[in-house]
Every structure is written in structure tokens, then in C-alpha cells.
Structure 1
Amino acid sequence: MATTQYTHVELLTLHGPEYRRVSTAPPRPPRDDEIPILDFAAIHGDDAARLALAARVRTAAQNTGFFYIRNHGIPQDLIDSALAQAKAFFHQPDEEKDKVSNFKLKHMDGYHAMGTTQVNKSETKDRKESFSLRYNTRNDPTVDPSESPADAWDDSPLWAGTAHLPSFRETTIAFWQARLALARKMVRIFALALDLPETYFDDVVTHPGADGLYVHYPPTPEAELDKDDVDVGIGSHTDIQCITLLWQDMSGGLQVLSSSDEWLDARPIPDTLVVNIGDFLQRLSNNRFRSTVHRVYNRQNTSRYSMPFFLGFNPESVCKVVPTCVDEEHPALYEPISCGQWHRNRLALAQGKTIAA
């Protein structure tokens, strides 16, 4: 019997580099308990149904920290329209996409070109391009426009640069809003999963960090398909905020590191979204919930498209480890911090900048 070989993945953290042991074996399909499929129709059910769903979410969050959801409530025609808009945007010439480059805009919205990100400094640059829409109270239907929130900003340059794409603004905002609404409902299920009141997190998701992306991974040239050292689509990393909702096309390529240090092939499953735990929720759960390393390779000669949505909490809300995850045997492992400061620190680390205290 062959002996399993291992290497290590290096991750940057606020306390220096960390290393995770990783099998060198090819990615394998996950067992049902490693990345389960959860029916989220119960999110609209009675108290008993929501508690039962929360128990299943708790098990998944404590195991691999990844799961699929079906019956999530986002209409398929809206998903299809958003994908069409993503393709229309990325199929433009570079000079058109660069009109809404994130370097020209103030709030990290807009276009991130190929080769401008490298999420893991010990791996290759990320072989992808993306378009991002960050939280703006102008787009949040739960905020009264007459109140003129102080954190609203003028996003007209973003939409002026994409006005030639029919329905791009309308569809992109509608898809962002649908995912925000779902994420807010899911936060209540996560509260129940942590044995907290269902409304425990409601006050910290009124104007949250909420980033919706379109992502394009270009084809890999035929001559490179059989090589072992194909550039990574996005390098090995954990997500920064609380939860991630991911729509992925049928191309495959998402790989998740299991608790047994093996890469799992998080294969696309029709009519589902992938959900995973982020670092801030792992922090609030005192490491009870797992923020798991994952990466993407596009090992095919056609494009891969994905549409992730990242939810954090209100940027100024200072959060601490929740009381149900602390006792005499399990003291709080983390100091209170605001989600916004946590996010800024992590982004500064990724960019090699000095981290604010």
C-alpha cells in the first residue's frame, strides 16, 4: 500500500504565517457528511422546522464548514440573468472594463483585472478577473431613502461606465439584493445553531459588509492542461467575513481542505448554492465553527464563471465571542473587534501594508 505524502499550505495571519498539512493526492469527491446538501425550504417554516435546520447547519459548520443549500429562494431566472450580465461584462475589450477599474473608484467596487490579485503569496497570482458590488445603502431596500444615510455614496461613475450594457445595473443590483435578503435570513439560522436567540445578530446586519462579485476564470490553454503546475485560479485561503454564498457554473474547480488534510472536489450541483463559514464567524464561535481553506483551479479549455457573495457585520459593530461558546473549560480565545476593523486588517495584510491597531 502506497504511503500518503503530504506537503504544507502557507497562510498569512495577523499573528504571522500558519501552515496547514495537505495531502499531495488528487482531490477526491466529498462524503455526504463532509459537504452535505441541506434543504433550506425550512428557513420559512415554523419554530420546530427552523430549529431542526439550525441543528443540521451546526453539524456542517463544525465539520468542514462547507455545505450546499437547495430551495434557497433566489429565482433561477434571476441567476440566469446575472450570469448573462457577467459574461457580457467580461467579454468586453480590456479598455471598456478598465473604465470601471477599482483603482479609479473610491470604494473597491468595479473591475479587478487579471493578475491584480494574489490571495496566497506562496502560490501563483490568481488567474481570474472580477467585478464587485459592495454594500451601499442606496441599494438596500430595507433603508428608507428619505433618511439620507451618511454611509451612502455616489455610485454613478460605476454605472456610467457600464451603461452601454443593457440591464447590467438593474440585474446586478437585483441579484445583490436577493443574496443580501437570503444572507440576513441565514444569519438567524446561524444564531439558532449557536444556541442563541434567533434575532441575536439582527442589529449587526442592518448595513453590513456585503460584497457581491462576478468572477471569470479564463480557459487554460490546451498545451498546459496536462501540466501539474497550472496557475491557480484563486490561491489557497480562508474567507475573511462571516458567511459566503457561492453560485458556481458546472465547470468544477472548487477544492476544499478536509479535516483529514485532503483536498475535496466541491463539485457543482444544479440548483444549489455553496455556503461556507468565514473567519469572523469562526472567531465569534470561539473556533466551534470552521473557516476552511479552499482554492480554485480552472483545468479546462473553456471559461469558468462564479458569483460569490460575502456577508460581514456592520463595520462599526464591535463583536465578541458569543456567550454560548464560552465557559470555564473554554475561555474566549479572541478579543472583541469590529467587523470593519477585522476586514481592514486582513485586507492590509494581504496587500503587505501596515496594520492599524
Structure 2
Amino acid sequence: MSSASSEFRVPAIDIGPYVREGSAADRAEVARRLDHACRTVGFIQVVGHGIADEVLDGLGDAIDAFFALPLESKKQWVRPAGENRGYSPPRSESLSYSVGLDPVARMNDFFEAFNVGTSAAEYPGAEVSEADYPPSVWPTAPSSFKGQVEAYYAEARRVARTLTEVVADALGVEKSYVEGLTDHSIDVLRMNNYALPPGEIELGAELTGMSEHTDFGLLTVLWADQVEGLQVLGSDNTWHDVRPADGALLVNLGDVAARLTNDTWMSTLHRVKPPVVNGTIKRRRSAAFFHDGNADAVVAPLPSFVAEGEEPFYEPITVKDHILAKLRGSRAGRKNPHAPREAARVTAAAG
């Protein structure tokens, strides 16, 4: 699956000093460690997040119950691709298109997903449109699904907002600057199920749980079980296996963070390769909370990250336009022409 390296580590960071209003010195140390991780790995293990075990267990139960439904029952919750809400059946997406690459097959990612997100109604003073912030749709079965998912959503959102405070300190900018990028953020929770129908599979076939991609926004808070499959592209151009530690959430940066820092912070390429055991695929679950930023926020490299006399790697773009270009790739099968740097990194990867 990957060429493991003893030098590759996903650092664990305790964000408790930000959750519990710790001392200035303790918060500064958290920000320093985050900055180092963002420059070197782009993925971190977050502990001290304060999410109760019963909330995490409820999320897992909700994921299990919904994805256990028959496929035809789940398909009634498919929404138009542009809404980024509702159910995505297996093999209906290919994330590699979002970074400008052709997958082995046109739509070859075999995961299925269910998305909910923040609606325009939750930002009454921001004058946002329902097209950018569509309402969630909720399945009528299982009956506990909505309550369990909403409980986790609120907690993941809290953690993401806490992390934006750490980001502001790590970047050395005023908190008001980051708040101006995220105070009516496009937030989406995507619950993923990696599985195929029971039976033997062809071990030599090209199987892709979720193909190579970067996340679109500022940062992602990821709950995942400890089944292998998630791989991160390291600075050595090698794919490395990553699993969450006990009680930890995985957090990775997205494209907005990379654009703000002119690629000093890493929007880490990652993928999910299917774990195969005795000729069958082992089931894997995850839930990614995307804290993407305001739809109308204009993102460009901060001057402090562009050396004098050099041109920035990125032109200014709104969060909305950037996300639409990525979604047109993953959902509509149209290669994203605005991601040459990500595509080059995948092409150069070993294995």
C-alpha cells in the first residue's frame, strides 16, 4: 500500500488550552506546534477537543444505521450535485478530477456518502444565498439519525472554530482577519462508508475507495474509525498510512490555508485505498467536517508569505468559485484546470 518511513509522523496536539481558556504561554505553545505541523505534514492528531464519547458513539451508530439501508432506499435522498447535500451512491464521484487528474475509470471511487451542512437561514445577517448555503435534507429512517448527527455536527463545528483561533495565532494575524474569512463559513459534514457488496473481488483490479485529492477549504476535522486505508502524501513523495490515535480527531489543512500561506502550509494530498482481507474489502467509516470559509471571501497569499520581488503562486479567488471548480471535477467529471500544483505532486508520487 505504501512505503512506510520512520521519519513520517502525524503529530498529536492538545488544543485544551484553547478549549479551556488556558494561559497565554500554553496557547502560544499550541500555536507554535500547529505552525510547525502545518509546514511539515499538513495533518495533525487533535486531542483535548472536549467531544464526549457518547456524541462520538452516536455518530458511529447513525452512520451504521443509515448505510445499512438498501441502496434504493438511500437513493431517494440524492440531491443535485451543485447542492453538496444528501446521498452520493457508490461510483458516482471521482475526487481525482478535482485536482485535474484523470482517474483509471471515469467514476471509480467506490465510497458512498451522506452530506449535511450549514444553511443560509443560519446566517440571517450575512445576506448569503441559498444556492451557496442550501438546506440539509434528512432521511426519515433511521429515526435517530438526525438527532445523533446534529449533536456531532455542533461539536465538530465548535472544534473547527476553536482551531481557527489557533490558526490566527499561528499565522500572526488578528483574530478579526480569520473571522472575516469564516464568520459565515460554508460548513459541510460528509459521512463516508467504504464498502462493496459482499463477495470475492479481483485482487489485481484497480480499486479506489476515494481517489487522490486535497480538501477545498480552510481546514477539515475528521472522525474516523481505526481501520486502515487513509493515506497521506508526504514531502518525500511517498504515500503513508495514517490512522487516528485513541480518542483523537484527525485535522488536515485545505486549499484555502495553502493559498493564504503561498504553500508554506500544506494542503495535504490524501486518498483512501481499500483494505483487502481474504479477498474481501474491510469496511471503513469516516466523517469529515469541512470548515471551508465564507463563500464571498477573497483568498490570496498574505504578503508576509511572499518574498520581496517574487510572484505569488496563486491569484485571488473567492472561496465560492474555488469550491465550484473542485466540485465540477469530483461530481460532474470535468477536470479542474486550476489545480496544476496539486496534479504535479500526485504525478510525482511514488507508488
TM range (shorter): 0.7 to 0.9
**Alignment deviations for residues 232-286 of structure 1 (CA, whole Å, 9 cap, x no partner):** 1001121122211111112111011111111111023211111111112101111
After TM superposition, give the deviation of residue 221 of structure 1 in Å: 5.8
Deviations 1:65-95 (A, max 9, x none): 1111111122221111011111111000112
CA distance 1:76–1:330, shift in 2 (3 Å): farther
2:78 touches 2:88 (CA, 8 Å); kept in 1?
Answer: yes
1:73 is matched with which residue: 50, 56, 59?
50
Q: Does 1:133 align with 2:116?
A: yes
Aligned to 1:341: 321
Contact 1:54 1:192 in 2 (8 A): yes
Measured at CA, do residues 122 and 38 of structure 1 come closer, stay the same or move farther in structure 2, by a change above 3 Å? same
AA of the residue aligned to 1:28: A
Q: Deviations over 1:35-60 (max 9, x none)?
A: 11111112232222221111101111
1:36 equivalenced with 2:19 (yes/no): no
Question: Percent same amino acid at aligned positions?
Answer: 26
Alignment equivalent of 1:326, drawn from 306, 330, 348: 306
What does the per-residue CA deviation read over 1:195-241, in whole Å, with 9 as the maximum and x for residues that have no partner?
2123321122122111101100015866448x354401001121122
Which structure 2 residue ranges, 5 or more long, are not aligned?
Answer: 97-101, 339-351
Q: Which residue number corresponds to residue 104 of structure 2?
A: 123
Alignment pair present for 1:113 and 2:113: no
Equivalent residue number for residue 260 of structure 1: 236
Equivalent position amino acid for 2:32 in 1: A
**Whole-angstrom CA distance in 2 between matches of 1:149 and 1:260:** 45
Question: Which residue, 52, 56, 61 being the options, matches 2:33?
Answer: 56
Tell me, in whole angstroms, the C-alpha distance in 2 between the residues paired with 1:218 and 1:352. 22
SS class of match (2:223):
strand
The alignment covers a number of residue pairs equal to 322
Q: CA deviation at 1:29?
A: 5.8
User: Amino acid of the residue matched to residue 135 of structure 1?
Assistant: T
1:116-154 deviation per Cα after TM superposition (whole angstroms, max 9, x unaligned): 01112333400110000122144x5xx56xx69654578
Q: Deviations over 1:152-183 (max 9, x none)?
A: 57847x23xx1232221122122122111211
d(CA) in 2 for partners of 1:246 and 1:220?
25
Change (3 A) 1:57 1:234: same
In the alignment, structure 1 segments of 5+ residues that lack a partner are 1-24
Output the CA distance in 2 between the equivalents of 1:150 and 1:280.
20
Q: Which of 308, 322, 333 pairs up with 2:288?
A: 308
Q: What's the TM-score once normalised by structure 2's chain length?
A: 0.83
Distance of 2:174 and 2:113 partners within structure 1: 37
Kept in 2: contact 1:115–1:128 (CA 8 A): yes
Alpha-carbon separation, structure 2, partners of 1:195 and 1:291: 19
Equivalent residues of 1:114, 1:128 under 8 A apart = yes
**Selected match of 1:89 from 41, 66, 77:** 66
3-state secondary structure, aligned to 1:276 = strand
Shift of 1:288: 0.6
Q: 2:119·2:134 contact (CA, 8 Å) conserved in 1? A: no
Please list, as runs of the form range in 1=range in 2, the aligned pairs for 1:1-357 lying within 5 A after superposition. 26-28=2-4, 31=7, 34-44=9-19, 45-103=22-80, 107-120=83-96, 121-124=102-105, 125-138=108-121, 140=122, 143=123, 151=129, 155=135, 158-159=137-138, 162-218=139-195, 223-224=200-201, 227-300=203-276, 301-328=281-308, 330-350=310-330, 351-353=332-334
